[in-house]
């Protein structure tokens, strides 16, 4: 099968397009013939070897944590999906490799969902990682309710632009933190307000809008921007991050509930994500679509930062 592979860790120039063997199919998995693959910062981190100390890597390394396509083959233990059915989801294994930058990739049935009617495979391919993470942060960790005020850091990025949509769908008033060039973009997503982190003091700008502090905050940035959220969220408020745990004691001092988590696919979560797609509450804004052969270009954009929305790789030009 055709795939983009890396023979060792390094920069985007490590990618090579070539024919490789079909990946193994486990008893509880299905083999998916992919049409599109989403590109995520996590892919770049794997390519650079950042997970090498704590995860096995299968070389030649095929990256890609999410995608969409059609069920090609089913493992011996069976699956709720049928051959030829359109599916999307999370292609995560207990090792790094056998990802979605290829014509075929295996996934456990529990990490997949059927593509809803009316949703394109292109859109479905870009949802599982960032969309699933945003859903967990906003719905499960923050438990956002109608009328809540919610700040989203990195609101124009992959997880951030989904977090804005999920929070708005729940009835929240969203304050999006993003560079000024992305303010029209985040308002189109439903944000009520936009703050430019490069020219504004975020805490002061939010205080002008919500003097007593917001109810909740989503952190997709980390670092100093995360630490400053303790002065943005009200006493006793909630903060959720997909980047790292808090590095300051300020959240505890202000009795703020801080939770750090990334997306772990379960059947229930995949169903909810599919429902969000079907309802239109969540829709990826794909700002770049590139052929599989240009995976290196996609990674250069990811490494440079400030990607608006999502990037996808087109694997099957016939679809």
Q: What does DSSP assign to residue 59?
A: S
Report the sign of the C-alpha dihedral through residues 51, 112, 105, 301, in that order: negative
Answer whether 30's CB lies under 8 Å from 79's CB.
yes
**pLDDT given at position 179:** 96
Q: What is the pLDDT of residue 319?
A: 57
Give the count of beta carbons closer than 10 Å to the beta carbon of residue 63.
26
Asked if 220 contacts 166 with a C-beta cutoff of 8 angstroms, the reply is no
Tens-place pLDDT, residues 49-108: 999 988 999 999 999 999 999 999 999 999 999 999 999 999 999 999 999 999 999 999
Q: Give CA–CA dist 274/277, Å, rounded.
A: 5
Tokens of 59: 């070389």
pLDDT tens figures, 177-233: 999 999 999 999 999 999 999 999 999 999 999 999 999 999 999 999 999 999 999
**In whole angstroms, what is the distance from residue 99 CA to residue 80 CA?**
21
What residues have CB less than 8 Å from 101, skipping those under 6 apart? Answer: 3, 4, 5, 37, 43, 62, 63, 64, 292, 295, 313
> Per-residue DSSP letters for 146-193?
TT-EEEEETTTSHHHHHHHHHHHHTT-EEEEE--GGGHHHHHHHT-SE
Total Cβ atoms within 10 A of residue 27? 9
Looking at domain 130-260, does it have CATH number 3.40.50.720? yes
103 within 8 A of 75, measured Cβ to Cβ: no
pLDDT confidence of residue 45: 96
Q: What is the residue-wise DSSP string for 241-288?
A: ESS---SSSHHHHTT-EEEE------HHHHHHHHHHHHHTS----EEE
Please state, in angstroms and rounded to a whole number, the distance separating the CA atoms of residues 111 and 65.
11
Reported as a single tens digit per residue, the pLDDT across 130-184 is 999 999 999 999 999 999 999 999 999 999 999 999 999 999 999 999 999 999 9
Asked which of 83-87, 151-155, 288-292, 305-309 is least confident by mean pLDDT, the reply is: 305-309
What's the confidence (pLDDT) of residue 110?
96
- Residue 111 DSSP class: G
263 confidence band (pLDDT: 50, 70, 90): confident
* Reduced DSSP (H G I as helix, E B as strand, rest coil) percent helix, strand, coil of the chain, to 5: 35, 30, 40
How many Å from the N-terminal Cα to the C-terminal Cα in the chain?
A: 17
Fold of 2-127+284-314: Quinone Oxidoreductase; Chain A, domain 1 (3.90.180)
Tokens 């990490």 correspond to 111
**Residue % of the chain over a pLDDT of 90:** 96
Q: Where in the chain are the domains? A: 2-127+284-314, 130-260
For 84, the token pair is: 């030829």
CA–CA gap between residue 205 and residue 228 (Å, rounded): 12
pTM of model > 0.85: yes
Tell me which residue of 207, 200, 181, 212 sits closest to 287, measured CA to CA: 181
Specify the pLDDT at position 130.
97
Give SS3 for 146.
coil
Other Cβ atoms less than 10 A from the Cβ of 179: the count is 16
Tens of pLDDT, residue by residue over 20-51, are 999 999 999 999 999 999 999 999 999 999 99
């Amino acid at each position: 099968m055709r795939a983009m592979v890396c023979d060792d860790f390094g920069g985007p120039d490590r990618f090579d397009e070539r024919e490789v063997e079909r990946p193994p199919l486990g008893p509880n998995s299905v083999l998916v013939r992919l049409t599109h693959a989403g590109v995520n910062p996590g892919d770049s981190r794997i390519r650079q070897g950042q997970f090498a100390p704590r995860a096995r890597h299968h070389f030649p390394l095929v990256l890609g944590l999410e995608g969409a396509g059609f069920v090609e083959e089913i493992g011996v233990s069976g699956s709720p999906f049928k051959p030829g059915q359109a599916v999307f989801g999370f292609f995560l294994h207990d090792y790094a490799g056998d990802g979605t930058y290829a014509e075929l990739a295996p996934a456990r049935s529990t990490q997949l969902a059927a593509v809803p009617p009316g949703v394109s495979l292109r859109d479905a391919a870009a949802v599982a990682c960032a969309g699933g993470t945003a859903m967990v942060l906003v719905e499960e960790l923050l438990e956002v309710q109608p009328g809540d005020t919610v700040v989203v850091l990195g609101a124009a990025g992959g997880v951030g632009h989904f977090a804005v949509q999920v929070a708005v769908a729940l009835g929240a008033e969203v304050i999006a933190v993003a560079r000024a060039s992305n303010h029209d973009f985040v308002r189109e997503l439903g944000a009520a307000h936009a703050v430019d982190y490069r020219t504004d003091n975020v805490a002061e700008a939010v205080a002008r809008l919500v003097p007593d502090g917001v109810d909740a905050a989503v952190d997709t940035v980390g670092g100093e921007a995360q630490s400053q959220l303790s002065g943005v969220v009200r006493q006793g408020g909630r903060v959720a991050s997909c980047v790292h745990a808090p590095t300051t004691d300020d959240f505890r001092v202000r009795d703020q509930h801080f939770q750090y988590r990334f997306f772990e696919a379960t059947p229930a979560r995949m169903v909810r994500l599919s429902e969000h797609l079907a309802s239109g509450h969540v829709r990826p804004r794909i700002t770049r679509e590139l052929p599989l052969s240009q995976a290196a270009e996609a990674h250069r954009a990811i490494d440079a930062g400030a990607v608006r929305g999502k990037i996808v790789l087109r694997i099957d030009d016939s679809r």
